[in-house]
Amino acid sequence: METKTGSQATWCKQLSTLTKRSFVNMSRDVGYYWLRIITYIAVSISVGSIFFNVGTSYSVILARGSCGGFISSSMIFMSIGGFPSFIEEMKGVMMMTAGFFRFLTDLLKPFWRYPMSYINYMAWALQGEYKNDMIGLEFDPLQPGDPKLKGKVIINTVLGISLDHSKWWDLTVVIVILIVYRLLFFTILKFKERASPVFRTIYTKRTLHHLIKRPSFRKTPPFPSQRHQVMHSLSSQEGLNSPIH
């Protein structure tokens, strides 16, 4: 048996080499890299032109919320190729618990509110976008002559978002969640790397154990094998003559 040793390169060297190699491979792929950049630019121009100079009237309050929701959802759908497959399947779940369709305070607390909306980085990103856009603005009232509506009131009452923390806290939580996801994926890969040989060994032993119990694998077969019998000509067998004679 030969003893296999790991790579002699340091962890930083391996990371830099693989990152450079991945960047080169992606940059050579027109559909994956350059076409995606063009799509990002086209989406940015479209969103900017549609919501350009949207104003602060009462009717554009929901329009601003729709803009933030569209940007968050489009960024997830466009970058989903860099995530594992099970995250791609969990994106209809991320959107439902992010605050697009129901307020975070209205979600069922046993599961959807705690912990799904808290581990959903999309929910924190959306809250930060709303705060960054509306805090400091004043919107026209529904009825002329009424006092203007402050952005904080809109965020708290219309969009159902708490103002207990600032947008910078939302950004920090998003970064922390992404780092935790990366570490979790790394741990899963390491566990799979170490556990795969163990599972293969167990499977091999179980397979051999079942094969040994079969009659074809016994030392003494129950009947003589026909493959190793000596063949005799018809003329040498008793009672049989060759048709030539």
Distance CA 202, CA 126 (A): 47
Please give the residue that has the higher pLDDT: either 69 or 214: 69
State the pLDDT at residue 230. Answer: 58
Residue boundaries of the structural domains of the chain: 51-196
The whole-model pTM stands at 0.63
Question: How sure is the predictor about 32, in pLDDT bands with cuts at 50, 70 and 90?
Answer: confident
Please give the residue that has the higher pLDDT: either 69 or 90: 69
Kindly state the tokens that stand for 209. Answer: 């154990």
pLDDT mean over 61-83: 73
Kindly state the tokens that stand for 120. Answer: 């959903």
The backbone torsions φ and ψ at residue 54, rounded to the nearest 5 degrees and listed phi first, read: -70, -25
Calculate what percentage of the chain has a pLDDT beyond 70: 78
State the pLDDT at residue 172. Answer: 93
Lowest average pLDDT, out of 58-72, 80-94, 156-170, goes to: 80-94
> Does position 109 have pLDDT exceeding 60, yes or no?
yes
> Does position 1 have pLDDT exceeding 60, yes or no?
no
- Which amino acid is it at 105? T
State the pLDDT at residue 141. Answer: 85
pLDDT digits (tens, 9 = 90+) for 133-157: 888 888 888 888 888 888 888 888 8
pLDDT mean over 54-58: 85
Please give the residue that has the higher pLDDT: either 114 or 234: 114
On the CB side of 92, CA atoms within 13 Å amount to: 1
Check: CB of residue 159 under 8 Å from CB of residue 128. no
What average pLDDT does the chain have? Answer: 78
